[in-house]
Amino acid sequence: MYDSWLRLGLDTVRLGMEAQTVVALRLAKLSLGGSAAQAEAERMVIEKMEAAAEAAITLAAGGSPERVVRDYRRKVRANAHRLSRG
């Protein structure tokens, strides 16, 4: 029982750390301004709305919090990879 809670807690901490990387990369991109910054700002808002909706659907369908965190982490890592390439 405690193993699953511990794993969820650690995965949530990892998500927070990974999200901070994306925040830093996005701020750097937004600070440059221009059309790329505008596109990133729009993408960010759309992604957040979609992610929240997907999390709600997952939980409403009986999915676990672990799955929600796992899905968020996958998306955050993809963003970090995309943003770090330039």
Three-point CA angle 57, 40, 38, nearest 5°: 130
Cα separation, 76 vs 81, whole angstroms: 9
* pTM as predicted: 0.88
Cα separation, 19 vs 26, whole angstroms: 10
Report the mean per-residue pLDDT for the chain.
96
Cα separation, 50 vs 40, whole angstroms: 15
User: Would you say residue 1 has pLDDT above 80?
Assistant: no
Question: What is the identity of the amino acid at 64?
Answer: S
pLDDT tens by residue, 55-84: 999 999 999 999 999 999 999 999 999 999
Mean pLDDT within 30-51:
97
Which ranges in 32-64 belong to alpha helices (H)? 34-60
